[in-house]
Amino acid sequence: MRKIVLLLLIGMSLAVQGQVKTPRNSRMAAVSEQVGITDVTINYSRPAVNGREGKIWGELVPYGFVDYHYGTSKAAPWRAGANENTTIEFSTDVTIEGKPLAAGKYGFFIAMGQEKAMLVFSKDNNAWGSFYYNAASDALRVEVPVLKMTEPVERLKYEFAQQTDSSAVVLLEWENLKIPFTIHVDLKKTQIDAYRYAFNNGLFYAYWQNMQQAADFCLVNDVNLEEGLGWAERSINTYFGEANFLTLSTYAGLLEKAGRRHEADSLMKVAFPKGSVEDIYYYGNRLLQMKKYKAAFDAYKIDYDKAPKEWRTNFGLAKGYAVMGDKTTALKYADNGMQLVHDPGIKAYIDKLKQAITAGKDISAF
């Protein structure tokens, strides 16, 4: 009996040892970023230069496609890291350097060159290294420049740079080189697809804010207008809908785009009395960003008439007069707003607006 217990304990000990994490020479890492609403995740291992300066590129990392004399591949690229496959995953369709790539998880490889590198996105994503690389599984190949760095990087790393609403540049950096590639997403399409998917979920309808937000995205981005009009109508007239300033003004904007101007104007007459000072101010801002200057001015004027002693309404009217070409009156209302606040941060913000008005600069971002 004691021998059986001892054997069991030894077996359990060996099993535990097999599950315990231990440090790797090439550390495991992951980096993620949202590009638009697309999740991009890179999993990789980080080898170190470790005294091998000048021997990384062309030696440790060979140029081109090579035979590593292991596995099945006779022409394998570099694994773009160490250990298991480096993988890159996209939650939606993207383009890489302008070329389309479907949503999914890919093995990521690089065929290095002295001045250019071939990036390989493979449907095989669960191998060890590139020893079993099969070109028939390639989903995409793109060529990018290899750039020199002034500051060395000891451990290989990936990072995201130059982000915009719909793109980002991914950088692989190691030793004295970096390899950039640009990911671009169709933000309008992916956002509309996300809203459509959400509309299939009953919980989405439980909040008028969700339906209004979806309709407003269509309005501001001038996309999917017919469906957006339906979403806007639901945000008002369904069981969970609400006829408030946000839902009514969004619906009116989409009606106007549909050529139903009379209905839109009538709806805004109902909407404005329901709006708070803040609601109407941000509505004016949105019109300003859409370059609907006269409509923005009218909104700011209604807001001012509602609360002439608030700095924000004076600030809005200053912007309204500025885009209508009346600098003198614009500066007058900016000064009025300045006198109504004590917060130095707000005062500085108003002063920046005055400087922009005086210089004749675009003030739509204020």
**Residue 266 region, left (φ>0) first, then alpha (ψ -120 to 50), else beta?**
alpha
Residue 335: inside a domain, yes or no? yes
pLDDT class of 7 with cuts at 50, 70, 90: very low
Residue 4, pLDDT > 60, answer: no
Indicate the helix (H) or strand (E) that contains 174: strand 167-184
Q: How far apart (Å, rounded) are the C-alpha atoms in residues 34 and 168?
A: 9
Residue 169, judged by CB atoms within 10 A of its CB (0-12, 13-18, 19+), counts as middle
Chosen domain end from 185, 220, 252: 185
pLDDT class of 78 with cuts at 50, 70, 90: very high
Report yes or no: 156 and 173 within 8 Å, Cβ to Cβ. Answer: yes
pLDDT of residue 284: 96
Beta bridge pairs of residue 48? 155
Report yes or no: 130 and 112 within 8 Å, Cβ to Cβ. Answer: no
What pLDDT digit, counting tens, does each position of 174-186 carry? 999 999 999 999 9
pLDDT class of 128 with cuts at 50, 70, 90: confident
Beta bridge pairs of residue 109? 120
pLDDT of residue 248: 97
Note whether 194 and 172 are same-domain residues: no
Q: What is the pTM of this model?
A: 0.79
Note whether 305 and 351 are same-domain residues: yes
pLDDT of residue 19: 64
Residue 228, pLDDT > 70, answer: yes
Residue 2: inside a domain, yes or no? no
Note whether 220 and 150 are same-domain residues: no
Note whether 71 and 30 are same-domain residues: yes
pLDDT class of 91 with cuts at 50, 70, 90: very high
Residue 4: inside a domain, yes or no? no
Note whether 155 and 244 are same-domain residues: no
Instruction: CATH number of the domain at 193, please.
Output: 1.25.40.10
Note whether 266 and 139 are same-domain residues: no
Note whether 120 and 48 are same-domain residues: yes
Note whether 68 and 47 are same-domain residues: yes
Kindly state the average pLDDT of the residues 197-221.
90
pLDDT class of 127 with cuts at 50, 70, 90: confident
Note whether 130 and 57 are same-domain residues: yes
What pLDDT digit, counting tens, does each position of 9-41 carry? 334 344 444 567 766 667 788 999 999 999 999
Count how many Cα atoms sit within 13 Å of the Cα of residue 182 in the half-sphere of its side chain: 11
* Range list of H helices, 59-207: 187-199
> Which residues are within 8 A (CB) of 74 and not within 5 positions of it... i.e. 6 or more apart?
67
Report yes or no: 233 and 251 within 8 Å, Cβ to Cβ. Answer: yes
Residue 3: inside a domain, yes or no? no
Chosen domain end from 151, 185, 219: 185
pLDDT of residue 122: 97
Kindly state the average pLDDT of the residues 159-167.
95
Domains: count for the chain: 2
What pLDDT digit, counting tens, does each position of 240-297 carry? 999 999 999 999 999 999 999 999 999 999 999 999 999 999 999 989 988 999 999 9
Note whether 209 and 321 are same-domain residues: yes
Q: 338 to each of 1, 195, 342, 353, how far by Cα in Å?
A: 89, 41, 8, 11
Residue 17: inside a domain, yes or no? no
Q: How far apart (Å, rounded) are the C-alpha atoms in residues 85 and 41?
A: 13
pLDDT of residue 27: 79
Kindly state the average pLDDT of the residues 100-106.
98
What pLDDT digit, counting tens, does each position of 116-126 carry? 999 999 999 99
Mean pLDDT over the full length of the chain: 91
Residue 190, pLDDT > 80, answer: yes
Note whether 209 and 312 are same-domain residues: yes
Kindly state the average pLDDT of the residues 164-177.
97
* Range list of H helices, the chain: 2-19, 187-199, 208-221, 225-237, 245-257, 261-274, 277-289, 293-306, 311-323, 327-339, 344-359
Residue 141: inside a domain, yes or no? yes
Residue 153 identity (one-letter amino acid):
V
The domain in which residue 299 lies consists of: 188-359
Q: Six-digit token pair at 255?
A: 């009606």
pLDDT class of 200 with cuts at 50, 70, 90: confident
Q: 58 to each of 53, 61, 64, 66, 343, how far by Cα in Å?
A: 12, 5, 9, 11, 60
Kindly state the average pLDDT of the residues 311-318.
97
What pLDDT digit, counting tens, does each position of 316-335 carry? 999 999 999 999 999 999 99
Least confident of 3-7, 63-67, 251-255, 312-316: 3-7
In 3D space, the residue among 159, 86, 79, 158 whose CA is nearest the CA of residue 111 turns out to be: 79
Residue 218: inside a domain, yes or no? yes
Sign of the CA dihedral running 317, 323, 329, 330:
positive
